[in-house]
């Protein structure tokens, strides 16, 4: 069996599994999602493609497999004044049980916001979880309620330090759990430690010999990143200091991207499609660049030489804004590209259930399946390419920012001098070709 056939079968299996998983998640969610403000328990049968897609790309406190089957993850919750709760996500029974006032709401832990003290300890049976919308401060917000003992209680999501910008804010508790994204990042880190540890042992073992085994597999990656990113962007004088960082950034983003394409455990987590993760990576790259910035870099940033004094304050504002815009562009670019890929694939899969009208139209479902399988296989191939491309772009832009921060002043002057020489040479050549004499300065 050729490698191309194996790859095609793998992609086909991934597509088929995602079909089944998408429907299973929708069925599971339908049993707990209720849109009536009166909180009357009872499921609905309508397929909600937007809800399913958002569920798949969001983080969760468990790895959902199919139906009621899931792989639990550690839950670490803290409520000010009430202490720490440590448990496994399986204790919540997919939202059917409240533990110390915490409830599993579609894969994420929420907390009872207005419940009596008796419900904030021990285990309580949850009859259902309902969803509605409400106007809060002029904005439409999603509101979730838990029905316990015939009474409804508002649910709080975990505290998010975004000041409400992204719909979060400081709430009644903090979630320090090992979620899908955290687990995948730990897994990617351990895989990188093992991989490059094996490469290092290979170099020691084969010192003075031709590389072999995993060493020969990874050496082209190392040489490519060094010769195409680190040296051109940072320069021969400083590149060795930053080569480990660029390598780490590239392979960490790559491994997280690749694990996100695997539809089953230990994959399926949308790590680099989480803006909090990409923000952290972008901030790390910015800190590494700006901390190593030399006097030449900061002089040109804060008080640009050679510019009229009256214009310098304006230029300083622009340059300082640039210090923020650079990591912001890194954050948004990676987040948007990875998230868009996942949304497209899941949207294509949803065509099966939309065309089939939830099983009422078999021919529509069949036509949707044909279209979805073909385009999903194609998109999986594109996403495989995007996983490498986005890791490369993140690494090369990080190296560019570092190179600008550590560039020596004399290096800049040499470039200008060589540029003037090239212009002079071009002018002399042009004069010779046209028969005109280029006047000397």
Write down the pLDDT at residue 341.
Answer: 84
**Is 428 within the bounds of a domain?**
no
Residue 192 sits in the same domain as residue 139: no
**Is 233 within the bounds of a domain?**
yes
Q: Which long-range contacts (CB under 8 A, 24 or more apart) does 275-279 make?
A: 275/166, 275/331, 275/332, 275/335, 277/181, 277/185, 278/330, 278/331, 278/332, 278/334, 278/335, 279/331
Block residue for tokens 């969803």 = 131
Residue 223 sits in the same domain as residue 152: no
Contacts of 226 (CB under 8 A, 6+ apart): 239, 243
Residue 202 sits in the same domain as residue 348: yes
Write down the pLDDT at residue 393.
Answer: 93
**Is 245 within the bounds of a domain?**
yes
Distance in angstroms (rounded) separating the CA atoms of residues 383 and 15: 13
**Is 416 within the bounds of a domain?**
no
Angle at 334 between CA 328 and CA 337, to 5 degrees: 125
Distance in angstroms (rounded) separating the CA atoms of residues 398 and 201: 28
Distance in angstroms (rounded) separating the CA atoms of residues 82 and 264: 36
Residue 277 sits in the same domain as residue 316: yes
pTM above 0.85, yes or no: no
Residue-range definition of the domain harbouring residue 251:
182-407
Residue 65 sits in the same domain as residue 206: no
**Is 438 within the bounds of a domain?**
no
Q: Which of 65, 147, 142 is nearest to 107 (CA)?
A: 65
**Is 417 within the bounds of a domain?**
no
- End of a domain among 135, 152, 174? 174
Residue 121 sits in the same domain as residue 197: no
Write down the pLDDT at residue 192.
Answer: 93
Write down the pLDDT at residue 166.
Answer: 58
Number of separate domains in the chain: 2
Residue 188 sits in the same domain as residue 248: yes
Distance in angstroms (rounded) separating the CA atoms of residues 375 and 95: 35
Residue 273 sits in the same domain as residue 357: yes
Residue 332 sits in the same domain as residue 192: yes
Block residue for tokens 């504002």 = 317
Residue 189 sits in the same domain as residue 332: yes
- End of a domain among 155, 174, 193? 174
What's the burial of 102, exposed, middle or buried (CB within 10 Å: 0-12/13-18/19+)?
A: buried
Is the Cα torsion angle 250, 251, 255, 256 positive or negative in sign? negative
Write down the pLDDT at residue 245.
Answer: 93
Residue 142 sits in the same domain as residue 198: no
Query: Could you tell me the mean pLDDT of each successive run of 10 residues in the chain, 441 residues long?
Result: 39 37 37 42 59 76 79 89 87 86 86 84 86 75 83 84 62 88 93 91 82 84 90 88 92 92 82 90 93 85 82 87 90 90 81 68 70 79 90 93 82 46 42 38 35
**Is 61 within the bounds of a domain?**
yes
Block residue for tokens 């904030």 = 120
Could you tell me if 349 and 19 are in contact, meaning their C-beta atoms sit under 8 angstroms apart? yes
Backbone angle region of 68, left / alpha / beta, with phi > 0 → left and psi within -120 to 50 → alpha:
alpha
Residue 390 sits in the same domain as residue 250: yes
- End of a domain among 156, 174, 192? 174
**Is 413 within the bounds of a domain?**
no
Could you tell me if 346 and 383 are in contact, meaning their C-beta atoms sit under 8 angstroms apart? no
């Amino acid at each position: 069996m050729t490698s191309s056939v194996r790859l095609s079968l793998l992609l086909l299996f991934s597509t088929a599994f995602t079909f089944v998983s998408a429907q299973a998640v929708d069925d599971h969610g339908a049993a707990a999602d209720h849109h009536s403000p009166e909180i009357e328990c009872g499921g609905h049968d309508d397929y909600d493609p937007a809800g399913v897609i958002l569920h798949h790309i969001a983080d969760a406190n468990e790895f959902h497999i199919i139906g009621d089957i899931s792989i639990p993850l550690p839950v670490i919750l803290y409520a000010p004044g009430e202490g720490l709760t440590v448990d496994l996500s399986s204790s919540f029974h997919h939202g059917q049980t409240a533990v110390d006032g915490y409830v599993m709401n579609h894969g994420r832990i929420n907390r009872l916001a207005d419940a009596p003290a008796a419900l904030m300890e021990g285990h309580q049976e949850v009859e259902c979880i309902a969803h509605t919308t409400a106007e809060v401060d002029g904005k439409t917000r999603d509101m979730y309620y838990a029905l316990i003992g015939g009474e409804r209680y508002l649910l709080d999501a975990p505290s998010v330090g975004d000041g409400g910008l992204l719909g979060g804010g400081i709430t009644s508790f903090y979630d320090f759990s090992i979620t899908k994204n955290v687990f995948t990042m730990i897994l990617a880190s351990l895989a990188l430690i093992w991989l490059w540890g094996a490469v290092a042992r290979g170099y020691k073992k084969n010192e003075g010999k031709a590389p072999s085994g995993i060493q020969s597999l990874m050496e082209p990656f190392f040489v490519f990143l060094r010769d195409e990113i680190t040296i051109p962007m940072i320069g021969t004088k400083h590149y060795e200091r930053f080569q480990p960082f660029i390598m780490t950034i590239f392979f960490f983003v790559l491994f997280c991207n690749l694990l996100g394409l695997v539809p089953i455990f230990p994959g399926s987590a949308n790590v680099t499609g989480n803006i909090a993760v990409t923000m952290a990576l972008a901030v790390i790259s910015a800190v590494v660049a700006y901390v190593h910035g030399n006097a030449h870099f900061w002089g040109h940033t804060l008080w640009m030489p050679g510019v009229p004094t009256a214009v310098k304050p304006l230029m300083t504002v622009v340059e300082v804004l640039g210090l923020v815009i650079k990591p912001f562009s890194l954050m948004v670019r990676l987040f948007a590209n990875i998230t868009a890929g996942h949304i497209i694939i899941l949207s294509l899969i949803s065509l099966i259930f939309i065309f089939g009208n939830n099983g009422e139209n078999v021919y529509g479902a069949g036509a949707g399946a044909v279209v979805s399988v073909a385009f999903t296989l194609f998109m999986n191939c594109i996403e495989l390419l995007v996983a490498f491309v986005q890791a490369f772009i993140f690494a090369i832009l990080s190296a560019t920012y570092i190179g600008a921060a550590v560039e020596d002043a004399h290096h800049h002057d040499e470039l200008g001098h060589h540029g003037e020489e090239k212009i002079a040479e071009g002018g002399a050549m042009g004069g010779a070709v046209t028969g005109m004499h280029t006047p000397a300065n």
